Amino acid sequence: MTKITKFLLAISLIAFGLGFTHILWGFGMPVGAICFGLFMIFRILGKEAAKYDEEQRLRVAEAMRVSMEAPRTAAATPIVPLSAAVASSR
If DSSP codes are grouped into helix, strand and coil, which group holds residue 12? helix
Q: Does residue 21 lie within any of the structural domains? A: yes
For residue 87, being part of any structural domain is answered with no
Helix 3-20 × helix 25-76 angle, to 10°: 170
Specify if 77 maps to a domain: no
CA atoms of 78 and 67, how far apart (whole Å): 19
Residue-number span of the structural domain to which 11 is assigned: 3-71
**Do the domain assignments include residue 8?**
yes
Give me the number of domains the chain comprises: 1
Instruction: Kindly report, residue by residue over 37-83, the tens digit of the pLDDT.
Output: 999 999 999 889 889 999 999 999 998 888 887 666 555 566 656 66
pLDDT at 22 over 80: no
Residue 90 lies in a domain: no
Tell whether 63 is covered by a domain.
yes
Q: Which pLDDT score is estimated for 21?
A: 84
Task: Name residue 23's amino acid.
Answer: I
Helix ranges (H only) for 1-90 are 3-20, 25-76, 82-89
- Residue 60 within a domain: yes
Res 48: pLDDT: 92
